[in-house]
Amino acid sequence: MDRLAAMAARYQAPKGTFDVLPAEEAARALVAEHAGRLLDAAGHGRIETPALEETEVFARGVGASTDIVSKEMFSFTDRGGRGLTLRPEGTAPICRAYIEHGMHKDPQPVKLWYAGPFFRAESPQRGRYRQFNQIGAEVIGTDSPLADAELIVLLDELLRGLGIADLELRLGSLGSPEARAAYRDELRDYLREHEAELSDDVRARLDSNPMRAFDSDHEGTRAVIGAAPTMLERLEADDAEHFAAVRALLDAAGVPYRLDPTLVRGLDYYTRTIFSFVCDRLGAQSEIGGGGRYDGLIGQLGGPDTPAIGWAAGTERILLALDEEVAMPGMDLFIAVAEDRQRAKAVALAGELRHAGISVEIDLAGRSIKGQMKQADRVRAARTLILDEGDSARLRDMATGEERRVEPSEVLELIRPG
């Protein structure tokens, strides 16, 4: 919002939230249509879950120690004493729905997609909000590397198809929770041996999060971590084989990626493949979309053990990366009247034409005929029907200025789309 206007406004949208004004809707609609078309065409069915879930859907006891779960959720107790949370992400609610509706009895895998608002109490900055929108896809009920590759190809197509350039796909594998736990212990022991060379920050978090050392820009820490063992080197045989298969499929599909042995994701339920599409132009919040396998999550939520994989992309970050003005489509027709007594006729005709699928605006502000013609230009009407005095009418092509006499009753035939 304009700074002066913001100072004058008594109420403002809550911290980290924003209004989407009509002029900004066209770009959003473009992204939503592109994503919907792509995911429908790949055989994913759209699912909608509530904006609220029982808090336990996200905070599942086991390993629920990620920042998102521990401090970034908007949680409250309702009047019935139930703990509820505004959904911070889409995967856990979809797994809840998969179990609740017995989707494991359907032919597997179940392929879904979703789009909608999500909520995290993060500190806001460019590309990071407290209410934001995600488009996401899930493939539930198969551990085939084909599902990993197909989903990654879809996200690649979603982003590139919109014209987002300079994207980098980072790819890694976390293996099984057991291998990961063993690796963390090994890494912690290794870092302890080099404790004196590490930054204070990394040393303070050695116990809780040794992986943090990978993100450090402290010189000594970087030297130590450069020689550290990586998770990819510690994958168990079947996880390593699975990862090799995913990579071979991506190579065959011609999707370039960079192996990132240090890749981690914000949520703790991931296993095996994880990936992230990054666009450096976006600055600090450079990830546009990402995801991974979550083979243990449905089991943790009380369902049958079911392997699954998914991703989510942030609509606002897509729009930042597109950085393009998308114009609202203009009107098919504006109806202008020379005399006030024709206004009722304009209302009736506009209704009839809209019913036939034509976009029509009429003057609602009592403008003169000259003012109405200006308004027709402002709404970028392709044509204007001018109801003249004495019940004659003209249809004006607004691009060429050409006019022809018409009967109002034949307008529909003359401008019928297609």
Task: Pick one of 58, 129, 243, 270: the residue that binds ligand AMP (CB under 6 A).
Answer: 129
Sequence-ordered list of residues with C-beta below 8 angstroms from that of 356, at least 6 positions apart, any chain? 412, 416
Q: What 3-state class would DSSP assign to 398?
A: coil
Q: Which is nearer to ligand AMP, 160 or 341 (CB)?
A: 160
Q: Does 271 interact with ligand AMP (rule: CB under 6 A)?
A: no
| The one-letter amino acid at 67 | D
Q: Does 85 bind ligand AMP (CB under 6 A)?
A: no
For residue 55, the 8-state DSSP code is: G
Stretch that binds ligand AMP, among 95-103, 199-207, 301-309, 313-321 (CB under 6 A): 313-321
From first CA to last CA, the distance across the chain in angstroms is 40
Q: Say whether residue 289 binds ligand AMP (CB under 6 A).
A: yes
Distance between CA atoms of residues 191 and 223, nearest Å: 11
x/- track of binding to ligand AMP for residues 251-270 (CB under 6 A): --------------xx----
Count of residues engaged in binding ligand AMP, rule: CB under 6 A: 19
Nearest to 172 by CA among 29, 347, 292: 292
Q: 406 with 395: CB under 8 angstroms?
A: yes
At 270 the three-state DSSP class reads coil
Q: In the bound complex, what is the minimum distance in angstroms from residue 128's beta carbon to ligand AMP? A: 4
Per-residue binding string, ligand AMP, 132-171, x by CB under 6 A, is x-x-------------------------------------
Residue 141 or 314: the one with the smaller Cβ distance to ligand AMP is 314
Using CB under 6 A, pick the residue from 53, 89, 138, 295 that binds ligand AMP: 89
DSSP structural state of residue 79: T
CA distance 237 to 249: 18
Q: Do residues 91 and 294 make contact, with C-beta atoms less than 8 angstroms apart?
A: yes
Residue 131 CB, nearest approach to ligand AMP (Å): 8
Least Cα distance to 312 among 23, 87, 59 occurs for: 87
Among 308, 312, 320, 337, indicate the residue that binds ligand AMP (CB under 6 A): 312
Out of 263, 288, 319, 331, name the contact with ligand AMP by CB under 6 A.
288
Of 34, 44, 120, 242, the one binding ligand AMP by CB under 6 A: 120
Task: Tell me which stretch binds ligand AMP (CB under 6 A): 215-223, 248-256, 314-322, 390-398.
Answer: 314-322
Closest CA to 138 of 278, 253, 279, 42: 42
> Does residue number 287 form part of the binding site for ligand AMP (CB under 6 A)?
yes
Please state, in angstroms and rounded to a whole number, the distance separating the CA atoms of residues 20 and 14.
14
Binding site for ligand AMP (CB under 6 A): 89, 120, 122, 127-129, 132, 134, 265-266, 287-290, 312-314, 316-317
